[in-house]
Amino acid sequence: MKRRWMSLIFTGIAAMAAVGMLAGCGGNGADSQVSPDGKSSKTGSEMSENLDSGNTGEGVKTGDGPALTAMCVGSAADAYRETYQEIADEFSKDNEWGATVNIEFYENEQYKTKLTTLMASNSVPDIFFTWELDYLKPFVEGGKVASLQEAVEGDDKWKNSFAEGVLDPVTYDGKLYAIPTQKSFCVMFYNKKIFEENQVSVPETYEEFLDVCETLKNNQVTPMILAATDSWIPAQFVQQISNGIAGMDLYDGICDGTRKWNDPAHVEASNEVQSMIDKGYFQDGMLGMTAEEVQSQFKQGKAAMYFQGAWDASTILDKNTSSITDCVGAFTLPAKNSQYNNISVGSVDTCFAVAESSSNKEIAVAFLKYWTSKQSEEKLLYEMGRLPSLKLEVDDSKIDPLVAEIISLSNQAKGLTPWWDRAFGAGEGVEFNNQCLAVFGGSDPRKAFDELQAFAEENADR
C-alpha cells in the first residue's frame, strides 16, 4: 500500500497547485449527511448550501446541545491555533444539534504520549488529530477509531471534493478512518535580506547549496538553524538528504523490503550531515534547542536558513512575533544527485479521526465535513498558508508571496516520501528518528543504521 500511495499523493498536490489555480473544482457539499452508523439527517442540497455559506444547521444556539472535545497538536508559538479554534467556534455557532466543539492543544511529543495513554484507557475525546499510515494503524486495529467509510461513501460531493489520493494513507483494509484536512512537505525557508547582504543566491545544485553555507559561515552568519530536542526534526533532514542521493527507490525499497535500513544512501546522507555540522553550518547549541526556540531565532533574523515543514509558513509570517515577514522565501533543497531533484519529505497533514467510544459520532462527522468545506479550507489557505486537501480554486491575489512560492514548489514536485515515523509508526519509524539524532550527536553513521536494521530484523514478526 505504501508504495502505491506515493504516486497518488504527488498527483493530488500537483492538481491543487497547477490545475486548481487555473480552473478549480469549486466547493463542498452533500447528497446526504451520513453518520458513521449510516444515518441520514439532512438532504444534499441543504447540507451543500449550509457548508458553503458557513451555516451548519438550523439555527440552534451554541451550548444547547452536546459539548465535543477535539485534541490537536499545537504549541503556544503556533499561529494557526487561533484559526483552528475559530473554525470550531463557527461550527458551534449554528448547527442542528446545538453542539459546541472545543479544541485542546498539546505540544508534539506531549500529544503523542497523551493520546497513547488515552487510547489505553479508552478515554479518547470525540475527535483527535492523527498522523497517517502506520501511526494510526495500531489504533484502528485495536478498535479505537470509528470508520468513516459510510459517511464519505454516502456523500459523493464530499468524497469527490478531495484531491486525488489524499484519502489513501488513512484507509485500512478498504475502510476510511480519518480525514486529511491539509497537505504539506518540507522546504528550506530562507531570509532574503541575509542572502542579499551576503551576495548569495538560492542554490540550484547541491554544490551551490554547500557553497552558500560556506560563504555565510565565513561572513559570520549562521547558515542554518535546526532543533534537535525533537528527534523527528533531525530525522527529516537526514531523510531529505537521502532522497537526494537515492530518490524514490530508497523509500519504496524499504517499504517493500527490497532495500534495508542500513542502505548506503542513509549512511552517505548521515556523513553529509556530520560534515555540515563539523564545518559549522548549524547554530551553536543545536542539540539542546527546542523547536520553539529555533523558530523564534529564525523569525528574528538570527539565521539564514531553516528547514521545516511548509506548515510553519503561518508562524513565520505572524507579524506579532516575526521581524522577517517581508523578506522570507522558500526553496526545495537541491539533491546531491541531480536526477533526484524535487523529491521531498512530505505527506497529507492535520488528519482528524473520530473515537469509536464517542457518543456523538454523527456530530463529529459533521464537524469534519465543516472543517473540509470550501469556506474553512479557504480560510486556512489564505490566512494560514496551509495547502488544502481539497481540489480548490485558488485566488492568487489573496496569497502571501511566501505561500505562492510554496505552492509553486509543490507544483514542481516529482514525488514525496512520508516521514518515516508515520510510514512505520512506533517501531522502525521512531527508531529511525533516534538513530538520526544519534548521528547529529556524533555517532558513527554506519553503526547507527546497522543497529536500526538489526532492530527491524528482530521485530520483523511484530
Q: Which residue has the cell 512560492?
A: 405
Specify the residue for cell string 500537483. 14
Nearest to 89 by CA among 398, 379, 382: 379
Strands (E), 303-424: 305-309, 328-331, 343-354, 387-388, 415-417
Residue with cell 507579524: 319
Structural domain boundaries in the chain: 67-184+348-407, 185-346+416-459
Helix (H) or strand (E) holding 330: strand 328-331
CATH topology of domain 67-184+348-407: D-Maltodextrin-Binding Protein; domain 2 (3.40.190)
Could you give the CA distance from residue 210 to residue 334 in angstroms, rounded to a whole number? Answer: 10
Is pLDDT above 90 for 143?
yes
Q: How many Cα neighbours within 13 Å face the side chain of 291?
A: 19
Residue 409 pLDDT > 50: yes
Residue 200: pLDDT over 50: yes
Integer Rg of the chain from CA: 22
Domain 185-346+416-459 class in CATH: alpha beta
Cα separation, 281 vs 277, in Å, equals 6
Per-residue pLDDT tens over the stretch 323-354 = 999 999 999 999 999 999 999 999 999 999 99
Distance of CA 218 to CAs 194, 202, 280, 284, Å?
13, 18, 10, 15
Would you say residue 443 has pLDDT above 80?
A: yes
Per-residue confidence band for 391, with pLDDT thresholds at 50, 70 and 90: very high
Matching residue, cell 494560514: 384
Residue 427 in this model has a pLDDT that exceeds 80: yes
Report which residue type is found at 460: A
Distance separating alpha carbons of residues 431 and 91, to the nearest angstrom: 40
> How would DSSP label each residue in 214-242?
HHHHHTT---EE---SSTHHHHHHHHHHH
Contacts of 199 (CB under 8 A, 6+ apart): 215
Whole-number mean pLDDT of the chain? 88
Classify the phi-psi angles of 385: left when phi > 0, otherwise alpha if psi is within -120 to 50, otherwise beta: left
Spatial distance between the Cα atoms of 206 and 125, rounded to a whole number of angstroms: 46
Same fold, 67-184+348-407 and 185-346+416-459: yes
Give the CA distances from residue 11 to residues 20, 33, 84, 166, 413, in Å, rounded to whole numbers and listed in that order: 12, 28, 27, 9, 9
Residue 349: name the closest of 381, 394, 323, 375 by CA.
381
pLDDT band at 63 (very low <50, low <70, confident <90, very high): low
